[in-house]
A and B are shown apart, each in its own frame.
Chain A
Amino acid sequence: MTGITLFGLTGALVIGLGVFGLVARHHLVHRVLAFNLIGSGIFLLFGALASRSPNGTDPVPQALVITGIVVALAATALAVTLITRFAEASGRTHLPDDSEDGDGAV
């Protein structure tokens, strides 16, 4: 088993772990962590693919992964902010059950 394959398999494993977490856990912070796991797995997979190129390391995936990490950081920051405000306002860490009737605001 080459190193590249190992990276690829690890990436897939991390994605799977994230998806499991997303399904199994309902605590909002856990869910955000699960999304981060999925994202990291995808980046790992991408990195592994980058080194597969015949003429040396492909720079494009590296550039994209860096961009992706920045985006994931922003998403996580927003999510954590919202969760904090939600917990402060409602005292809860889980989303309430679906209520289809939205609360109207102006």
Chain B
Amino acid sequence: MALSDWLAPDMAWAAFSVIVPLAAALLSLPLARHARYIALPAALLGLIVACASAAQVWLHGAVLLAAGGWAPPLGIVLRLDGLAAAFLVLTAAISTAVAWYALPQFAARGASESRSGFAFWPLLFFLWAGLNALLVSNDLFNLYVALELIGLTAVALVALDGKPAVIAAALRYLLFALFGSLAYLLGVVLLYAQYATLDMTLLRHVAQADFATLLAAALMTAGLLAKTALVPLHAWLPPAHAGAPAPASALLSALVVKGSFYVVIRLWFDVLPNQAGAAFTTLLGTLGALAILYGSALAFRQNRLKPIIAYSTVAQLGYLFLVFPLAGGAGEAQPWGAAAWSGGMFHALSHGLAKAAMFLAAGTLIQAVGHDRIDGLDGIARSMPIAAFAFGLAAISLMGLPPSGGFTAKYLLLTAALAAGQWGWAIIMIVGGLLAAGYLFRVLNRFLLEGDRSATLQAVPAGGQIIALLLALAAILLGLLSATPYALLQIGRPDAAAGGLS
């Protein structure tokens, strides 16, 4: 078969992207502690499938695939468009990096580590399968199943360590996640009662702006926001993300919270673009702005490395919700369309790469120092320059400084805000960038202090540092080579992305 045949529009890459990690997860259950031998090959296969999906979308446009040949409303449709493809590649890249990073850590040495060594690999692949299922679903109930799969594996990943404080964090996360799922499910049931279908394309054509629909949408959104940890539903995130083992933290902060955000975007931009209303979009934007300010302020007050990064996630998630008030608007002067929507999606992608890099870099630093108080990191750049550099590069993207994916995102969001004359949101973004610089340079300052601590450090393999550096470089390159991901995101872009919600 020629390459073009492999990428033909009828190839079921959307389905493969779920099947491959699912198979790896199921296979790693009986393999138990030997699962690590299949982890890297399976991850690489998943990465290839994700790239093939993206190439298929790039060549042929958005692909719809009726599972088992049944048309909706009875059958289930998988959809692969530019947005889904971009997130598939992101998920695959980060999962592969994490798998590679985690190989020495979860090598199942000794009795105390055996449980986490056994559980990590199936959890990683179940999470990956759940995320991919979520990305390609075009059916609201399918999304529910995917959300639950993601939520439960994420909770289990948090609890891997087994310390009481961490289990408490996992339980609190579970309570929020279950609340979120049930609220979402109730909304789904109400929508089905109204329209007798859960296919997102069909729903868009029949959905009204009546009370039942809006109630259903509100329930679903509230549930999803709890899972995305948007302020004021964020309380579970910092202890959970800070308490999990570093590779798990990377997955949670980079991907899991993005999953539920992705559903919010799908719900409003693809299914209900004409039902949102200005009050609702302003509310989401305001919560996002609060998240930026509040998350940054709390990140400033932490004295441990991982809580700083976790609160930074709370703050960074806020930017994503500025998409709602900013979508549409004016902007005839710009040669690109849908600036706010594209900027938001860019932000999700670059934050994913940068945050994963930062957690992995932090993981190696903490491993070397033995604890995660930042006053223990004085002068660490001398002994661990690669990890320090990776942390710094990731920080650049999180601050939204060029050249990085975070800057491209900020530039797009800012042009959208100022073209529409919405100065308030623009100021929030600028202030948020400065606050991020404040709490991140507080850490970076430590790295460059004088003194040589190499005698007191534990030896850490260079591999983990290099993986963190590669992810951070990817976040930087996303800003320099932004034309291609931008063009990919535009394939199958919803009309509301350019026209705005109404």
> A residues near B, CB below 8 A?
15, 22, 28, 31, 35, 38-39, 42, 45-46, 49, 52-53, 58, 60-61, 64, 67-68, 71, 74-75, 78-79, 82-83, 85-86, 89-90, 95-96, 98-106
Contact = CB atoms under 8 A, between A and B. Distances in A.
A45 B192 CA distance: 11
B186 A75 contact: no
Contacts of A45: 186, 189
Contact of B367 (A79, A82, A83, A106): A106
A82 to B, nearest CB: 5
B168 A46 contact: no
Interface of B: 73-74, 105, 141, 144-145, 148, 151-152, 155-156, 159, 161-172, 174-175, 178-179, 181-182, 185-186, 189, 192-193, 196, 198, 235, 238-246, 298, 302-307, 310, 363, 366-367, 371-372
Nearest to A89: B164
Contacts of A98: 235
Nearest to B239: A102
A43 B495 CA distance: 34
B366 A106 contact: yes
A58 B307 CA distance: 49
B163 A103 contact: yes
A106 B245 contact: yes
Which secondary structure dominates chain A's binding surface? helix
A90 B168 contact: yes
A81 to B, nearest CB: 9
A5 to B, nearest CB: 13
Nearest to B305: A104
A53 B196 CA distance: 9
Contacts of B310: 102
A103 B166 contact: yes
A90 B181 CA distance: 28
Nearest to B240: A102
Contacts of B239: 99-103
Contacts of B74: 60
Contacts of A15: 186
Looking at A46, A78, A106, the one whose CB has the most chain B CB atoms below 10 A away is: A106
Contacts of B240: 102
Contact of B162 (A31, A89, A102): A89
Nearest to A45: B189
A21 to B, nearest CB: 12
Nearest to A28: B171
A74 B149 CA distance: 9
B240 to A, nearest CB: 8
B196 A58 contact: yes
A42 B166 contact: no
CB-CB nearest 4 A-B residue pairs:
A102-B242, A104-B372, A102-B239, A90-B164
Looking at B167, B240, B245, the one whose CB has the most chain A CB atoms below 10 A away is: B167
B242 A78 contact: no
Contacts of A53: 196
B163 A89 contact: yes
Given A35-B178, A104-B372, A86 B306 contact: no
Contacts of A39: 182, 185
Given A86-B168, A90-B164, A78 B152 contact: yes
A75 B152 contact: yes
Nearest to B169: A102
A42 B192 CA distance: 12
Nearest to A99: B239
A85 B116 CA distance: 14
A90 B164 CA distance: 6
Contact of A83 (B156, B171, B181, B196): B171
B152 A104 contact: no
Contact of B171 (A35, A95, A99): A95
B210 to A, nearest CB: 17
A89 B192 contact: no
B371 A104 contact: yes
